[in-house]
Amino acid sequence: MLNIHYPDSDLQMIRHARYHHEHPAIRKRMTILALHSQGIVGEQLCQLAAAVSCNPFLKEYTGRLQ
């Protein structure tokens, strides 16, 4: 799994959008990022986030950081 550093400003945005964004797909992406930032990885991450695959979302996030 990817090793990602989450800046504090991003974590605040992720935590808020996880529950308050109007679009369900964005809430799911933010849930994946929030769980991953807490050290949850692999199959457990996908199960908790109810997602088939989590890697595309994590790779998209890392691409935006660069």
Which residues, given as ranges, of the chain have pLDDT below 70?
A: 1, 65-66
The whole-angstrom separation of Cα 63 and Cα 44 is: 23
- Specify the pLDDT at position 52: 86
Contact at 8 Å (CB) between 25 and 17? no
- Specify the pLDDT at position 1: 56
Per DSSP, the residues of 3-63 read -----HHHHHHHHHHHHH-SSHHHHHHHHHHHHHHTT--HHHHHHHHT-S--HHHHHHHHH
pTM given for the model: 0.85
- Specify the pLDDT at position 31: 95
